[in-house]
Amino acid sequence: TGSSILSALQDLFWLSKSKVEKQLQIISVLQWVLTFLIMGVACTLILMYILCTDCWAIGALYLAWLVFDWNTPKKGGRRSQWVRNWAIWRYFRDYFPIRLVKTHNLLTTRNYIFGYHPHGIMGLGAFCNFSTEATGVSQKFPGIRPYLATLAGNFRMPILRDYLMSGGICPVNRDSIDYILSKNGSGNAIIIVVGGAAESLNCTPGKNSVMLKNRKGFVKLALRHGADLVPVYSFGENEVYKQVIFQEGSWGRWVQKKFQKHIGFAPCIFHGRGLFSSNTWGLLPYSKPITTVVGEPITIPKIDNPSQREVDFYHSIYVDSLIKLFDKYKSKFGLPETEVLEVN
């Protein structure tokens, strides 16, 4: 009948709409994975190729701009609200999905250093929550400007540097952090993935561990600038990729540590799902929920030259706060009450 045909067409329409949305989610995540893995190298090679062609003037103009603009990443970068609000980031968010949970208000008269844990393979939760507006960070923390800190080497790559800066990403070095916390007013929040590349070597599904015991540089920076420390834990960050873990003393771990020492990152052997099927291996992360919980700020005094004892004292307070945050929310996000956060 006419009504049954119309009903069937409506069902088909909604089915195709959901499929289109799923494909858009996959595309949005794929472009970020490719950006993370190859965009810097690819843009460098393309620029070198252009310089060897009849279009060399274009490449020369960009190089001149690069020299002129070289120190911009160290001075807070050049964020773009337009880029941060791209619709593609909402599809990126919904693929997993990714969620940002606020537990306390942040004063706009203070500056902050967020310690983000764990690193995971690519820090997908850190990027989505703090370098885009997909999860509403500006609405949840009004007046706070988030800066996600990442490897300084990324800002030596043409085009990639500008792409990263547009999202409010800055180099994780002393010059950049000092500028943001001392010469950029108040209401700034620098997000530092404390465990870094070393922590990524041990991330695997079902494991909740952080590398923190000997990571005290961020506490010293907080003391020097009087910036409050905020523990942040992302439940599910380790679940989106599977990794081959090399044991300590193996040749594989030796190679990873050499890369980490001399280049700044550690090559991981990992896999997710395939582009067309979740039952095959590929570069796409698994669509597992990631929930990032921003904890209670720890008030930090301003001490120009903090002693090691003072650094150790506030570091111990931070570690305790992170553990309490994990214990308070673990059962709400799928972990058993017996789960313990491993602090290495």
pLDDT in tens, 15-53: 567 788 888 999 999 999 999 889 999 999 999 999 999
Question: Does the structure show a pLDDT above 60 at 178?
Answer: yes
Question: Does the structure show a pLDDT above 70 at 188?
Answer: yes
Task: For tokens 């990729």, name the residue.
Answer: 241
- The Cα–Cα gap between 319 and 317 comes to 6
Q: Give the model's confidence band at 10: pLDDT under 50 very low, under 70 low, under 90 confident, else very high.
A: low
Mean pLDDT to the nearest integer, 57-79: 93
Whether the bond into 231 is cis, omega within 30 of 0: no
Tell me the whole-structure pTM to 2 decimals.
0.90
Domain that holds residue 253: 2-343
Query: How many domains are contained in the chain?
Result: 1
- For residue 96 the two structure tokens come to 């997993």
- The Cα–Cα gap between 133 and 128 comes to 8
Neighbours of 279 (CB within 10 A): 7
Q: How many CA atoms are closer than 13 Å to the CA of 260, on its beta-carbon side?
A: 16
Task: Express each pLDDT in 80-132 by its tens digit.
Answer: 999 999 999 999 999 999 999 999 999 999 999 999 999 999 999 999 999 99
- For residue 230 the two structure tokens come to 């905020």
3-state secondary structure of 33: helix
- For residue 61 the two structure tokens come to 């103009």
Specify the length of the chain in residues: 344
Q: Give the model's confidence band at 317: pLDDT under 50 very low, under 70 low, under 90 confident, else very high.
A: very high
For residue 49, give the amino acid letter.
Y
18-22, 26-30, 252-256, 317-321: range with lowest mean pLDDT: 252-256
Task: Express each pLDDT in 122-139 by its tens digit.
Answer: 999 999 999 999 999 999
- The pLDDT value given to residue 312: 97
pLDDT > 90: percent of the chain: 74
Task: For tokens 């961020």, name the residue.
Answer: 218
Burial class (CB in 10 A: 0-12, 13-18, 19+), 192: buried
- The Cα–Cα gap between 36 and 131 comes to 14
- For residue 322 the two structure tokens come to 């992170």
**121 with 286: CB under 8 angstroms?**
no
Please choose, from the candidates 194, 222, 240, the residue with its C-alpha nearest in 3D space to the C-alpha of residue 344: 194
For residue 319, give the amino acid letter.
V
To the nearest 10°, the Cα dihedral for 310, 313, 317, 319? Answer: 110
Question: Does the structure show a pLDDT above 90 at 189?
Answer: yes
Handedness of CA 313, 314, 315, 318 (dihedral sign): positive
| Angle at the Cα of 309 from the Cα atoms of 306 and 314, rounded to 5 degrees | 80
- The Cα–Cα gap between 73 and 163 comes to 11
- What is the residue-wise DSSP string for 272-323? EE-SS-TTSEESBPP---EEEEE-PPBP----SS--HHHHHHHHHHHHHHHH
3-state secondary structure of 189: strand
